[in-house]
Structure 1
Amino acid sequence: MITKIRRQSKRILTPIAKFLAKLHITPNYITLFGLIFSLLYFFEMMLSNLIFSIIFLIISALMDALDGEVARILNKSSNLGSFLDSTLDRVEDTLYISSFIFINFPSVLVVLSVGFSLIISYIRAKADALGLKMEGRGIIERGERIIFVFIILLVYIIFSKEVSLYIFYLFLVLTLITVIQRFYVVYSALRK
């Protein structure tokens, strides 16, 4: 689902990416900035500064969207950049979701959410290595997971912990469903 939105968002991202490219900011630096902002997000969550957490989450997610676009504009796609981006995305995912412990969400469920999210990404990476295309497969890809984190925090601030916890439960169920969906797709393809 987010893949379709991502295509539309290029109209906004491309001018920003072109500006960054003119400043000679490399895609790898943008990837590192994304990590730095995710660490700031995590730190603010530890301090229960949810407004700042949301701001840093948005900036970190924006960096993630921009690094690939700048790489395409500068024609600087590389194996190192791909490795950095993929690996640091997993670190960021872990920081985004595990921080729910600081707002007293059930720790076991937070751990499961982190685990399922990492498994979703692992299945895609392994499938890609086996020549199977996984982008767009599954109900909740990385972009949707980041949006869920944003919504959960926003609802926590505006409404209550209880309401945001229900959204978190939905998030957990959807990540599990996505693990099952992706596993089934890969398993079925490899059995043929």
Structure 2
Amino acid sequence: MLSRTGRPFVQTVFGPIAKLFVKMGVSADAVTLTGTVLGVALSLTLLPTNRLVVGSLSLGGLALFDSIDGQIARLTNTSSKWGAFLDSTLDRITDVAIFSGLLAWAYLHGESGAMRTFLMIGLLAAMGTGSVVPYARARAEGLGMTASVGIAERADRLVIILFSALFVGLGLPQWVLLASAWYLAAAGLVTVVQRMAVVYRQAHETTE
């Protein structure tokens, strides 16, 4: 999902909803947890059953809607390290669910032969490198350094993979999803290397 800082457009669109939730007494953590449950449920029910169009659109809309937790936290002055930790941790769960749903789709509905094999490998690789990217940043920050660089931020990965699944669901060939999966796998690897290089420089600067 989107970070708790949100984006101007999203804040404008969903701001009234956030204010309504505040009046109803709904907490930021409750929105975060609900968004994750819905994201996992949609990913593991719609995608494997070949409902790529409705699944991609639903997950994309949910990603935007989830930014409400940050707005609620600001409106109620409840922003905290716990909230940031919960949001980031549950984001990883949602990511795994999305890629797992697409993996199940590829196994059940993908073209037979090499196409399905390479698609599944690409999705697995993209999920793997996508998991290491945030870990590298979190580990660097835990050591007092920064590593917020790279070409494969989470929002970018979600946009690419969900749009690709949407287009395939609308009738485009499956190599569109295949190409996107392998691009994300490579971009994730490049991002990890970029973050390692940044941390390496910082670590050596502190010892000089």
TM-score of the pair, normalised by structure 1: 0.86
- Tell me by how many angstroms 1:128 deviates: 2.1
1:140 aligns with 2:152: yes
In the TM superposition, structure 1's runs of 4+ consecutive aligned residues that sit over 4 Å from their partners are none
Whether the 8 Å CA contact 2:47–2:55 is kept in 1: the answer is yes
Matches within 5 A, 1:47-126: 47-104=49-106, 105=116, 106-126=119-139
Using a 3 Å threshold, how does the CA distance of structure 1 residues 73 and 131 change in structure 2: closer, same or farther?
farther
Contact 2:136 2:196 in 1 (8 A): yes
Unaligned runs of 5+ in 1: none
Is the Cα–Cα contact under 8 Å of residues 94 and 114 in structure 1 kept in the other structure? yes
Alpha-carbon distance in 1 for matches of 2:160, 2:176: 13
- Counterpart of 1:38? 39
How far apart in 2 are the matches of 1:72 and 1:133? 24
**Matching of residues 142-181 of structure 1 within 5 Å:** 142-158=154-170, 159-181=172-194
Partner in structure 1 of residue 26 of structure 2: 25
Percent identity between the two aligned chains: 29
1:24 is displaced (CA, Å) by 1.7
Indicate conservation of the 8 Å contact 1:35/1:60, yes or no: no
Structure 1 residue 21, shift from structure 2 partner = 1.8
Shift of 1:99: 2.1
Q: 1:63 to 1:31 in 2, by over 3 A?
A: farther
Q: Is the 8 A contact 2:164 2:180 kept in 1?
A: yes
Paired AA for residue 94 in structure 2: E
State the superposition RMSD in angstroms. Answer: 2.3
Whether the aligned pair in 2 keeps the contact of 1:31 and 1:63 (CA below 8 Å) is no
Report the secondary structure of 2:144's partner residue. coil
Give a deviation string over 1:144-166, Cα, whole Å, max 9, x none.
11111211112212312122322
Letter in structure 2 aligned against 1:169? W
Greater share of helix: 1
The unaligned stretches of length 5 or more in structure 2 are 107-115
Q: Secondary structure at the match of 1:46?
A: coil
Cα distance between partner residues in 1 of 2:165 and 2:131: 21
- State the alpha-carbon separation in 2 of the partners of residues 13 and 124 from structure 1: 29
Q: How many pairs align?
A: 189
- Partners in 2 of 1:87 and 1:28 — Cα distance? 12
Name the SS of the counterpart of 2:47 in structure 1.
helix
